[in-house]
Amino acid sequence: MIVEMKTGASKESVDAVVQRAKSMGFNVQLNRGTDKTVVAILGSNTGQVATDIFAVLPEVESVTRIMRPYKLAAREFKGADSVVSVNGVELGGKRVVIMAGPCAVESEKQLMEAARAVKKYGASVLRGGAFKPRTSPFSFQGLEEAGLEILEKARRKLGMPVITEVVDPHEVDLVAGSADILQIGSRNMQNYALLTEVGKSHRPAVLKRGFSCTITEWLLAADYLLAEGNNQVVLCERGIRTFEDSIRFSLDISSIPVIKKSSHLPVIVDPSHAAGHYSLVPAIAKAAVAAGADGLLIEVHPNPKDALVDGLQSLSLSNFSNLMEELRPIAESVGRFI
Ligand code: PEP
Ligand code: MN
């Protein structure tokens, strides 16, 4: 951490910075220029110290962090790629894992039809929301516990792991009873009570990026899960809010290589919520695989025009089948397979 003092700062003010750093167990290097003094605060934990601790002291001009604030999710903390294993499906290995299914579980018939098809075309994880975090309280909120029962049936019948969203910290055990992977939605990325409970559950978790959050904030959220001893964490880029309004969210494709550089955690992409329209999903999905995503989370509905949620962005079964065929050579071209 670098503390830049104001021009002509007094010796007492510089000493105050030095004393505070030393009292916290850090080493200090002083750089006295003709007009300005710069204090370098050294120690492996400076990334976790709030810059305000120094910024509030008299005659401090600025405080700049050198170390990254996230810790357990950082590549520096663990050099090798993490692989998250869910009933034999490995996320973060050579295989690009396809998770697919409807936005929401609507009925047993709807979910089973979607599940059979996505499995047949090569998906290895079934998605389906039982608890839906909706922007409007008047929108369909999901079948809740009845939805979990349907997911469990599909999981048993098809032997396919299931991912579903948990929205309430008090329902983590309930949802974990029916799901193999707990999904933390974009709107809940900074719900720290929820993150802590999912962390304690030690269940594989997919942490979606908050649509107004930076990559640093996303990795700090991952630290909440990791700090509870849950090392089965997978990140999911699903688009962020930008000035562009021709698409639902702008998929930040660059977050994939940035995550690969900054973190050891696997990262998957949800092209559906970024696209907002089924016609845009295939291009985004293919770009994500080409950019190094470890998996995709895709909305697929047997009858998108009658879907209760997100029908416009859901692929029909035949569109999903076509996309899977298009994805295979792309995965191979980047040394992966589907
Ligand atoms: C979802 O996957 O159904 C969902 C609600 O996504 P997000 O949290 O990314 O909006
Ligand atoms: Mn959805």
Q: Which residue, 67, 89, 100, is CA-closest to 219?
A: 67
Q: For ligand 1, is residue 185 a contact (CB within 6 Å)?
A: yes
Q: Is the CB of 266 under 6 A from ligand 1?
A: no
| pLDDT tens for the chain, residues 1 to 338 | 999 999 999 999 999 999 999 999 999 989 998 889 999 999 888 888 999 999 999 999 999 988 889 999 999 899 999 999 999 999 999 999 999 999 999 999 999 999 999 999 999 999 999 999 999 999 999 999 999 999 999 999 999 999 999 999 999 999 999 999 999 999 999 999 999 999 999 999 999 999 999 999 999 999 999 999 999 999 999 999 999 999 999 999 999 999 999 999 999 999 999 999 999 999 999 999 999 999 999 999 999 999 999 999 999 999 999 999 999 999 999 999 99
Closest atom of ligand 1 to 297 CA is: 2
* CA nearest neighbour of 104 among 160, 151, 158: 151
β-bridge mates for residue 28, sequence order: 41
- Other CB atoms within a 10 A radius of the CB of residue 126 amount to 28
Contact indicator for 323, 96 with CB cutoff of 8 Å: no
Q: Which residue CA neighbors atom 6 of ligand 1 most closely?
A: 185
In Å, how far from its chain's centre is CA 298? 15
Q: Which two three-digit tokens encode residue 269?
A: 């992409």
Mutate to test the pocket of ligand 1, among 132, 162, 270 (most ligand atoms within 8 A of CB): 270
Q: How many CB atoms lie within 10 A of CB 111?
A: 25
**Ligand 1 pocket member 104 (CB < 6 A):** no
Q: Closest ligand to 308 CA?
A: 2
**pTM of the prediction?**
0.93
Ligand nearest to C-alpha 268:
1
CA distances from 24 to 21, 44, 45, 54 (A): 5, 12, 10, 11
Nearest ligand to the CA atom of 248: 1
Residue of the nearest CA to atom 10 in ligand 1?
186
CA–centroid distance for 25 within its chain = 34
> Which residue, by CA, sits nearest to atom 9 of ligand 1?
186
Residue ranges of E strands in the chain: 2-5, 27-32, 37-42, 60-64, 84-86, 89-91, 97-101, 125-127, 162-165, 181-184, 205-208, 233-237, 267-269, 295-299
Question: Which atom of ligand 1 is least distant from the CA of 185?
Answer: 8
Q: What does the block give as tokens for 314?
A: 């859901």
